[in-house]
Amino acid sequence: MRSERWLLPLGFAVVLVGLWQLGSGSIVPGPWKVAQGIGELASKGVLVRYTLDSLRRVAIGYGVAVALGVPLGLWMGLSARVFAAANPLVQILRPISPIAWIPIAIVLWGIGEAAPIFLIALAGVLPIASSVSSHVRTVPPMYISAARNFGLGQAAIIRRVLFPAVLPNMLSTLRASLGVCWIVVVAAEMIAVDSGLGYLIIDSRNAGKRYDLVVAGMVLVGLVGLILDLLFRLLERVRSVRWGFRASA
C-alpha Rg value of the chain to the nearest Å? 22
Beta strand spans in the chain (E): none
User: Which pLDDT does position 239 carry in this prediction?
Assistant: 65
Segments forming the whole domain that contains residue 133: 32-242
Task: Tell me, yes or no, whether 235 lies in a domain.
Answer: yes
Task: Tell me, yes or no, whether 3 lies in a domain.
Answer: no
Q: What is the mean pLDDT of residues 168-184?
A: 89
User: Which pLDDT does position 247 carry in this prediction?
Assistant: 41
Helix (H, G, I), strand (E, B) or coil at 176: helix
Task: Tell me, yes or no, whether 27 lies in a domain.
Answer: no
Closest among 8, 189, 159, 171 to 78, alpha carbons compared = 159
User: 61-70, 151-160, 210-219: which range is least confident on average?
Assistant: 151-160
Task: Tell me, yes or no, whether 64 lies in a domain.
Answer: yes
Q: What is the DSSP string of 157-170?
A: HIIIIIHHHHHHHH
pTM of full prediction above 0.95: no
Residue 1 has pLDDT above 70, yes or no: no
User: Which pLDDT does position 248 carry in this prediction?
Assistant: 39
In CATH, what number is assigned to the domain containing residue 120? 1.10.3720.10
User: Which residues fall within 8 angstroms of residue 75, CB to CB, at 6 or more apart?
Assistant: 82, 158
Percent of the chain with pLDDT over 70: 92
Q: What is the mean pLDDT of residues 122-149?
A: 87
Domain count, the chain: 1
Q: What is the mean pLDDT of residues 60-81?
A: 90
Closest among 61, 72, 63 to 134, alpha carbons compared = 72
User: Which pLDDT does position 243 carry in this prediction?
Assistant: 53
Task: Tell me, yes or no, whether 4 lies in a domain.
Answer: no
